[in-house]
Amino acid sequence: MFIAALSYAQQDSQYTQYMYNTINVNPAYAGSRGAMSIFALHRTQWVGLDGAPVTNAVSINTPLNESNLGFGVSLINDKIGPTIANNFSTDLSYTIPTSKIFKLSFGIKATLRMFDLDVSKLNSVDATDTSLQNMNNKVSPNIGAGIYWHSDNAYLGLSVPNFIESNHYNDNEVVINKEKINYYLMAGLVIDLSDSVKFKPALLTKIVQGAPLQIDVSGNFMFMDKFVVGVAYRWSAAMSTIVGFQVTDGIYIGYGYDHETTNLNNYSFGSHEILLRYELFSNISKITTPRFF
């Protein structure tokens, strides 16, 4: 486990349906949909592999009355092997118009991270090794920021959810598990192919020191403002299928499946992800057709 930590592999939670989960990586997204948006997601990664990541995320974000402010809160529970991390975050955004159709939002994120390590789940070479100690709810605060330029049909965002590099395990500097800074660049565009078909290409890029550049590219089709079907590719990692259904104007259900393109495919049965979004509209903010992001 510590060798993996020192290699700085996956740290922040990973999502296939990132286009609906923007609030967790970019605080400037808060309130941008013009409605109170409640979001829940469950992701089981690399099914069949012992200790593989399992992520649960819930969030709520909303514009504040008729002001230019947006507010959000979120909780992410991430289990990987013998570790459990719980992130409690609050987001605040401020939006200014840049043209008749585009707006620019600035956001800040404050996070409280609680980290647990259960060494009883490790197969240690030396059971008496005193450097291996449990950690119970080790708390580390953090702060992040982001910008989000958007209209009803396009968006571009840049964010850093956590500016502070936290040491989660440090025993006299012998063993260190360090949370590195993650940089996110995202973009998307909705194209009307006909009155009943929309196409949305999207991009999410993540940069973290010591790990390969991660690029997620997706293309989704929405039919009759109800059904969503698409595919995604995570560079040198996985191919994904995405399906979704807009049950009502306010309720959306989505599912994503990842098929690994690396040697992990020999040891796991892919990754599964399901999400639910519920929105409450005011008479002023109610949209005439569902937003694609």
* pLDDT tens digits, one per residue of 146-195: 999 999 999 999 999 999 887 655 555 544 456 788 999 999 999 999 99
Is 3 domain-assigned? no
Name which residue leads in pLDDT, 34 or 145.
Answer: 145
* Euclidean distance between CA atoms 209 and 8, whole angstroms: 8
Contacts 24+ apart (CB under 8 A), 161-166: 161/12, 161/24, 161/25, 161/26, 161/27, 161/109, 161/111, 162/111, 164/140, 166/113, 166/140, 166/142
pLDDT surpasses 90 at 226: yes
Residues 279/36, Cβ–Cβ less than 8 Å: yes
pLDDT confidence band for 293 (50 / 70 / 90): confident
For residue 239, tell me if it sits in a domain.
Answer: yes
pLDDT mean across residues, the chain: 86
CA–CA dist 206, 203 (Å, integer): 10
Q: What's the whole-model pTM score?
A: 0.86
Per the domain annotation, does 9 fall within a domain?
A: no
176 is written with which tokens? 């260190």
Q: Is residue 13 part of a domain?
A: no
In a domain, 139, yes or no: yes
Letter string b/e over residues 141-179, b meaning 16 or more CB atoms within 10 A of that residue's CB? ebebbbbbbbeebbbbbbbbbbeeebebbeeeeeeebbb
Say if residue 244's pLDDT is above 90: yes
Nearest to 109 by CA among 78, 76, 137: 76
Number of domains in the chain: 1
Question: At 117, which CATH number?
Answer: 2.40.160.40
pLDDT in tens, 62-100: 999 888 999 999 999 999 988 899 999 999 999 999 999
Spatial contact of 122 and 113, defined as CB atoms under 8 Å apart: no
Please give the average per-residue pLDDT across 216-240, as a whole number: 94
Task: With respect to residue 8, please indicate whether it lies within any of the assigned structural domains.
Answer: no
Residue 67 within any structural domain of the chain: yes
What is the per-residue pLDDT for 3?
39
Domain carrying residue 80: 18-122+135-280
User: Are the C-beta atoms of residues 13 and 83 closer than 8 Å to each other?
Assistant: no
| pLDDT reading at 105 higher than 80 | yes
Q: Which of 124-128, 168-172, 173-177, 255-259 has the highest mean pLDDT?
A: 255-259
- Residue 272 resides in a domain: yes
| Residue among 248, 180, 257 nearest 211 (CA) | 180
CA torsion sign for 205, 208, 209, 215 is negative
